[in-house]
Structure 1
Amino acid sequence: MSETESAKIAARLDRLPSSRALWKIIVLLSLGGLFEFYDLFFTGYVAPGMTKSGLFTPSSLGVFASLAGIKVAGFGSFVFSTFAGLWVGVVLFGQLADRHGRRPVFTGSLLWYACSTLIMAFQHTGEMLNLWRFIAGVGFGVQLVTIDAYICELTPASLRGRAFSINQFVSFCVVPAVALLAWVLVPTVPFGLDGWRWVVLIGSAGAVVAWLLVQRVPESPRWLALQGRVQEAKAITVEIERRVEAETSTTLPTPHVEPVQDDGEARFVEIFSQRYWPRTLMLSVFNLAQVIGFYGFAAWVPTLLIARGITVTHSLEYSFIIAIANPLGPLLGTVFADHFERKTQIVLGLVVMGLSMLEFAHVNSPAVLIALGVVFTLAANIMSYAYHNYQAELFPTRIRARAVGFVYSWSRLAAAFAGLGIGYFLDLGGVLAVATFIAIAMLVGIVAIGVFGPSTKGVALEHISH
């Protein structure tokens, strides 16, 4: 029964046209997910303030000082704690959304993030700062896995590309905002509280506001139908249809139902089954590779600019200018996201990232350096929205969150150590060595997706997963 009803619900959702009602849901979900980006990107900007507070001396770090054995020292321990928390979140708790629903896990992770970050902002030793950073990372690691599954399941097949591009546009709008906040606040001590603490607290307060907004987002009807909660799934679908018809003043076409088997027991080991293991391996390798370029540049851009001869003051200014480009890549994607294969967009993004990074290592003009930084950022964020969509499409609803969590976890693990690699190559051979390292990683990602990735454009989720 759940299989039949799930097929009917899927068909009804996939025949919905573009409408304000649908985009409102996507924007609300995106606002909820915005703070994962805020949190990740404030990491590099608050570093000087945290270091000035004396939080990263060996005595302050306590047990975290032992990370020096793997060459993780000082502020690097904070970065390591961030991505270690993300990794634990996506690996151990990503499955919660498959078991308990997209909505409760998504909203719960927002509260988790808000509370743990609030506590983190008032820590006075590096040891406790890193502990609460790890705990916060677990929370928003779960959130990111859930939001990909959520958007994928609520959006019609013909609009999935645009949905993810708008999601990432909203999320990346926070990057220049956090860069500006850090620029203004970190050097100051408003009301006797270190500026970096205010940057953290603003993120925590914003997450609470986002939690209030996403209370208006419905549960995934696809997930409900698979759990046998058919009446709830129908009620949500009917309400969405009613709003769309009222807005567009048209009668929706009759849904074309094609029953697809998707009612098996949800088990983690299924991602290694004969049907899915090639996709699991492909996406795991891709995630290991892409994060080296994505965060390798974003987190190190001020340092890389200094290495190209730019002063510290100007490097922060230029970094802010480059940061402004972050939301523009996904915004451009709204024009073509559903017109080209997702894998094609990912591959082209990786190509541009690799080439622009190699050129970045050879030029000295500040204007050209900024231009190349903007090009790299645009390509990286087009690649980002496309692959978040792509990896959520490749697995069935019953295991989507845990599958995305597993393959995405490799990017979190790689990010925890990518900074070590960037630092090593920068010391070994300057920006050219870093650029070569990133370009090779991009080539690995290109081969993984370009050679082994299936096509998904305009295809129903239930068909892609088979």
Structure 2
Amino acid sequence: MTASSEPLNSAPEPRPPAPSPAERLDRLPFTRKHGRVLTGSGIGWALDAMDVGLISFIIAALVEHWGITKGESGLIVSVGFAGMAIGASLGGLLADRIGRRQVFALTLLIYGVATGASALVGGVGLLLLLRFIVGLGLGAELPVASTYVSEFAPARIRGRLIVILEAFWAVGWTASAVIGYFLVPASPDGWRWAFVLGAIPAAYALIVRWGLPESPRWLIGRGRADEAERIIADFERSAGIQAPVEPSRAAAASAVAAAAPLARSSGARVASLWSREFRVRTASAWLIWFCVNFAYYGAFIWIPSILVDAGFSLVRSFGFTLIITLAQLPGYAVAAWLIEKWGRRSTLSVFLLGSAGSAVLFGTAQSEAAIIASGMALSFFNLGAWGALYAVTPEIYPTSLRATGAGWAAGVGRIASIIAPLLVPLILAAGGAALAFTLFAVFFVVAAAATWGLVDRGGTPLDDR
């Protein structure tokens, strides 16, 4: 009898460790499920942009029909941004506490109802109150939506998907320009019908609440691993990937432990943003958000009114604004491509510097061709920068702080968006468009410098600090 070359009691080959839930999310290809999350969130984003964009056209119409002053115009804009500052901060805290999807749907409902009610106002006082309520919803929606999508996106394309999400802003802003051009000037009540269209998000909130899944990463962080497993397995089936027959209990337990909240109370989460680990990136993010908000809203909210003051008719100024707005989409497209090629910080800083140069050119433009060309360049670079900023901000924090960090950065930015509309009339009176847009350029340059205090997490797992 020949002795076997194999030991009789040889141990079986050890099985490779089961992938963690986060690894399973990151290995997925882009599927229809991802497309549904991206599109569902993007529609909410576009409706948000439509509301913000419409107010610039409505203000110009109210100046003509109600005879409101520039000070009252600035107050209408700023009170909305005051609501957005509070909404962004509270929305992020709530999203880390009760879930991304829940807060996203709630914000859509709040600002949709308040926008629709704005169609019925008969004076500036009530309009100011409703614009503040609208701002609460709008401010919370954006950082929560970007956090939500980033937590579903596979790591290798996460930055690109967030820029594409932000590109829905251009869709909504273009819709507002179309409504502003065709509907607002059509009759003395055209602005009221514009507000009626802005009520669409209230109905859309129901679709979000029941049609989109909760973030598995957030569920794991709250100890709800079984719910997260069902959602991840659903995405794997959509990709044609066989989910583990019996997911590793050890892997799930390890994932829950790794995603355990760094802080459980709201105050502790805000304090954690300024811990040794996060303080530099938090300071940099807040500075960038402040500068970009000041320059963006200072410029784009006032462009229709600036053009009217330059001697163009209401309809003609709205037409110029519509053309300028169309350049936002290619700006997003280029940023979406570059963000995975150059990285987050490089893409963001280049687009911010391009915004600075374009702002100077727009402020000094004299001819119609120069106004349109420099305005389109400003749209291209500025909105590409916004896409990169929304991509990088959620990535610099772990899951338990992600919505809080993104929300507070956005909230600080909204402080600038409150200040800018109030200061712009004073700046225009002192030195005209040239002075105003030179100041905006300075803010863009400061923001470009601050990008280098962020961390670039392109292609890395979200929960890896």
The TM-score by the shorter chain falls in which range?
0.7 to 0.9
Instruction: Indicate the residue corresponding to 2:43 in structure 1.
Output: 31
SS of equivalent to 1:98: helix
Residue 178 of structure 1, aligned match among 176, 179, 202: 176
Structure 1: give runs of 5+ residues left out of the alignment: 58-71
Structure 2: give runs of 5+ residues left out of the alignment: 1-16
CA contact (8 A) 1:426 1:433 kept: yes
Query: Amino acid of the residue matched to residue 176 of structure 2?
Result: V
Q: CA RMSD in A?
A: 2.6
Superposed CA deviations along residues 182-225 of structure 1, whole A, max 9, x for unmatched, are 22222234xxx811111111011254136425632110000001
Instruction: Indicate the residue corresponding to 1:202 in structure 2.
Output: 197
Whole-angstrom distance in 1 between the partners of 2:207 and 2:301: 31
Instruction: Indicate the residue corresponding to 2:323 in structure 1.
Output: 321
Whole-angstrom distance in 2 between the partners of 1:80 and 1:394: 29
Post-superposition shift, 1:407? 1.3
Would the alpha carbon gap of residues 228 and 339 (structure 1) be closer, same or farther in structure 2, given more than 3 Å must change? same
Post-superposition shift, 1:352? 0.5
Matches within 5 A, 1:233-248: 233-245=228-240
Superposed CA deviations along residues 310-332 of structure 1, whole A, max 9, x for unmatched, are 55553322111111222232133
- More displaced stretch, 315-324 vs 220-229: 315-324
- More displaced stretch, 304-313 vs 228-237: 304-313
CA contact (8 A) 2:108 2:204 kept: no
CA contact (8 A) 2:162 2:387 kept: yes
SS of equivalent to 1:382: helix
Whole-angstrom distance in 2 between the partners of 1:336 and 1:137: 32
- More displaced stretch, 328-337 vs 265-274: 328-337
Superposed CA deviations along residues 257-279 of structure 1, whole A, max 9, x for unmatched, are 89784313333211111111111
Matches within 5 A, 1:20-99: 20-54=32-66, 56=68, 73-99=71-97
Whole-angstrom distance in 2 between the partners of 1:139 and 1:306: 31
Whole-angstrom distance in 2 between the partners of 1:32 and 1:363: 35
Whole-angstrom distance in 1 between the partners of 2:385 and 2:18: 31
- Is 2:109 aligned against 1:106? no
CA contact (8 A) 2:91 2:141 kept: no
CA contact (8 A) 1:112 1:139 kept: yes
Would the alpha carbon gap of residues 31 and 13 (structure 1) be closer, same or farther in structure 2, given more than 3 Å must change? same
- Is 2:430 aligned against 1:408? no
CA contact (8 A) 1:392 1:404 kept: yes
Superposed CA deviations along residues 222-243 of structure 1, whole A, max 9, x for unmatched, are 0001101010000000001100
Instruction: Indicate the residue corresponding to 2:129 in structure 1.
Output: 131
SS of equivalent to 2:239: helix
Would the alpha carbon gap of residues 431 and 171 (structure 1) be closer, same or farther in structure 2, given more than 3 Å must change? closer
Query: Amino acid of the residue matched to residue 458 of structure 1?
Result: G
Whole-angstrom distance in 1 between the partners of 2:198 and 2:306: 27
SS of equivalent to 2:406: helix
- Is 2:446 aligned against 1:444? yes
Q: TM-score, normalised by structure 2?
A: 0.88
Matches within 5 A, 1:109-124: 109-124=107-122
Query: Amino acid of the residue matched to residue 286 of structure 1?
Result: I
Whole-angstrom distance in 2 between the partners of 1:206 and 1:103: 15
SS of equivalent to 1:75: helix
- More displaced stretch, 412-421 vs 17-26: 17-26
Residue 386 of structure 2, aligned match among 384, 393, 399: 384
Query: Amino acid of the residue matched to residue 302 of structure 1?
Result: P
SS of equivalent to 2:364: coil
SS of equivalent to 1:361: helix
Whole-angstrom distance in 1 between the partners of 2:24 and 2:186: 54
CA contact (8 A) 1:325 1:374 kept: yes
Would the alpha carbon gap of residues 409 and 436 (structure 1) be closer, same or farther in structure 2, given more than 3 Å must change? same
CA contact (8 A) 2:304 2:321 kept: yes
Whole-angstrom distance in 1 between the partners of 2:435 and 2:309: 12
Instruction: Indicate the residue corresponding to 2:358 in structure 1.
Output: 356
Post-superposition shift, 1:381? 0.9
Whole-angstrom distance in 2 between the partners of 1:109 and 1:383: 25
- More displaced stretch, 36-45 vs 114-123: 114-123
Instruction: Indicate the residue corresponding to 1:456 in structure 2.
Output: 457
Superposed CA deviations along residues 92-119 of structure 1, whole A, max 9, x for unmatched, are 3421111100111111111111222222
Would the alpha carbon gap of residues 397 and 328 (structure 1) be closer, same or farther in structure 2, given more than 3 Å must change? same
Query: Amino acid of the residue matched to residue 301 of structure 1?
Result: I
Instruction: Indicate the residue corresponding to 1:63 in structure 2.
Output: none
Residue 152 of structure 1, aligned match among 147, 150, 153: 150
Instruction: Indicate the residue corresponding to 1:262 in structure 2.
Output: 259
Whole-angstrom distance in 2 between the partners of 1:304 and 1:14: 47
Superposed CA deviations along residues 244-269 of structure 1, whole A, max 9, x for unmatched, are 11xxxx668999x8978431333321
Identity %: 28
Query: Amino acid of the residue matched to residue 230 of structure 1?
Result: A
Would the alpha carbon gap of residues 54 and 306 (structure 1) be closer, same or farther in structure 2, given more than 3 Å must change? closer
CA contact (8 A) 1:350 1:442 kept: yes
Query: Amino acid of the residue matched to residue 125 of structure 2?
Result: E
Q: TM-score, normalised by structure 1?
A: 0.87
CA contact (8 A) 1:13 1:156 kept: yes
Post-superposition shift, 1:150? 0.3
- More displaced stretch, 115-124 vs 201-210: 201-210
Matches within 5 A, 1:291-306: 291-305=293-307
SS of equivalent to 1:168: helix
Residue 434 of structure 1, aligned match among 433, 436, 443: 436
- More displaced stretch, 432-441 vs 257-266: 257-266
Would the alpha carbon gap of residues 109 and 327 (structure 1) be closer, same or farther in structure 2, given more than 3 Å must change? same
SS of equivalent to 1:456: coil
Instruction: Indicate the residue corresponding to 2:214 in structure 1.
Output: 219
Would the alpha carbon gap of residues 227 and 327 (structure 1) be closer, same or farther in structure 2, given more than 3 Å must change? same
SS of equivalent to 1:265: coil
Instruction: Indicate the residue corresponding to 2:27 in structure 1.
Output: 15
Whole-angstrom distance in 1 between the partners of 2:427 and 2:230: 56
CA contact (8 A) 1:271 1:403 kept: yes
CA contact (8 A) 1:103 1:220 kept: yes
Larger radius of gyration: 2
Whole-angstrom distance in 2 between the partners of 1:234 and 1:221: 8
Would the alpha carbon gap of residues 354 and 155 (structure 1) be closer, same or farther in structure 2, given more than 3 Å must change? same
Superposed CA deviations along residues 375-416 of structure 1, whole A, max 9, x for unmatched, are 110111110111011111111111111111111111111011
SS of equivalent to 2:451: helix
Would the alpha carbon gap of residues 154 and 134 (structure 1) be closer, same or farther in structure 2, given more than 3 Å must change? same
Whole-angstrom distance in 1 between the partners of 2:128 and 2:220: 41
Instruction: Indicate the residue corresponding to 2:14 in structure 1.
Output: none
